Chains A and B, each alone.
Chain A
């Protein structure tokens, strides 16, 4: 594999709080190869958002990188000055947020906002607007030139998310981070946005780090998938490995909970009983021990090693039969 665009090695992030140190991320290893889509799945509180904020180096004030490194196109993000970081954000690395209503500035026209983000380019304002219009029609907004004069509230929810995608891709980033970009949208629009992202990714050849809790969307869009639980990356592999041959009991339980995979209508759906353990007092052994249906004696005391199941497919579990 060529050098990955994003290389996260052994990353641990803590939050310092009055109640103690919250160990929000622990020993994360994740690579995003160039021009591939990597999905991150996990439930609330698993550390997805902390991971993104660590990657773009926009962390909360009380967050500390306790260990590990993040390399973006070979550069160590922690060593970069704020000035260098600003040169990367919105240029080589751009982002699509969950809520398209709040990601756009309500008091400026779309055209103004799309021209503004090209501030680094030494081209005329007219050229910038032309690029903006081209990009808008590429993401499927009809009559793009005249719509540059519209304000965000003139657009519907799905349209606004198309605009934020257009803005993110306008700078031709090497890495696009998409944080739950379809969660706020209806099913028919979600399909449209996923298809759009797929097509554009093929055209632009940028890598995408796609965060979602929606398994179906991950299955459709991503090449590789990482599964997070309570601050750890418990399993990662190709999308087929994860969905067809899940190794970690948490991944398996998560897939079974999805009501759309249960063919026969049933009143009682499977769940994962229990709660996420406290991230301040971490359990000694496996983080999933309390909720794992197949937990063994060893799981309680000793943290599981990362076991290789197949090429590029690993899971952190004591009880895997390889």
Chain B
């Protein structure tokens, strides 16, 4: 099937100094790399999961797709059309088809607006005011299992789960084809987390929506996404169909990340692949393979050379000089 969204060799760089300062300090490369050449595709009606620790660049990828950060190089094709380099006016119609659910459910709702006005805003911005706004707002609220009377409330009167559902309703306003959900369940209780994910699954079934889900919660990704990418310092270290990556992972970071998740059983003996330390900052990006500073199987070559892309099967790729053998997992 033709992919809905296709990202190719996407690279995002952030400037660290002004041009003058860089000139004075003779720094001919005053940039840090936020995203270093990632490629992935999302088919219509499918869910793609982006997993990684804080600072791995997940949100930057999402913001680049939304056109909220300038892209250094690469292509972002939506329905076949490359959005990189298009003028603001020409991107705008595509922006209607891509909606964003923000990370902080309460913080992303303006405290001064009633829910009704918050839900009307996408229409206003895109000049698509429906004839009867209150009917439309009621319809949106109903879609996310909230009562239409909630339109009269302010965000601080909502619980965390309700605020999250308003975020979903706002994303749905312009009937998008793709929804980017940044940590859709962060900060929610387990019993409410299920409600939001079930709601998203139902909407996907009913409307054929595609989702790009950004999360660090592997337990959630395992259930909801068809494909998954494991991100580390702006690169996809491993990507592929969720089941393949979870059960036949080849990259040691994937293995470590999966083994870090404890199970809710006091008697489990954890066979943890321990990785020490923390994700290095973007400013001090390690040479060679970025993961070598924490990798349990690091060898000399890893410190010098970034590994080439390796294919492990259909749609399953990883970047590692010394991958785990298939029997190891």
Contact = CB atoms under 8 A, between A and B. Distances in A.
B272 interface: yes
Contacts of A268: 198, 201
Interface string A100-127: 0000000000000000000000000000
A318 B198 CA distance: 31
A304 B225 CA distance: 42
A261 B194 CA distance: 13
A268 B194 CA distance: 8
A158 B189 CA distance: 23
Interface in A15-48: 43-44
B260 A188 contact: yes
Contacts of B222: 259, 265
A253 B189 CA distance: 13
Contacts of B243: 265
A187 B257 contact: yes
Contacts of B268: 219
Interface stretch (A67-75, A210-218, A279-287): A210-218
B242 interface: yes
B25 interface: no
Contacts of B218: 187
Nearest to A183: B187
A159 B279 CA distance: 12
Interface residues of B, number: 42
A213 B190 contact: yes
B172 to A, nearest CB: 18
A291 to B, nearest CB: 9
B223 A270 contact: no
Contacts of B267: 240, 244
A213 B263 contact: no
Query: Interface size for chain A: under 10, 10 to 19, 20 to 34, or 35 or more residues?
Result: 35 or more
Contacts of A44: 159-160, 189
Contacts of B175: none
B266 A240 contact: yes
Contacts of A296: none
Nearest to B188: A44
A250 to B, nearest CB: 9
Interface in B272-329: 272, 274-276, 278-279
B159 A275 contact: yes
Contacts of A199: none
Contact of A259 (B201, B219, B274): B219
B60 to A, nearest CB: 17
A265 B223 contact: yes
Interface of B: 53-54, 159-160, 189-195, 197-198, 201, 216-220, 222-224, 242-243, 256-257, 260-268, 270, 272, 274-276, 278-279
Interface of A: 43-44, 156-159, 186-192, 194, 213, 215-220, 239-240, 243-244, 253-255, 257-262, 265-272, 275
12 contacts: A187-B218, A191-B272, A218-B264, A220-B262, A239-B266, A255-B264, A257-B194, A259-B217, A260-B263, A266-B223, A269-B198, A272-B191
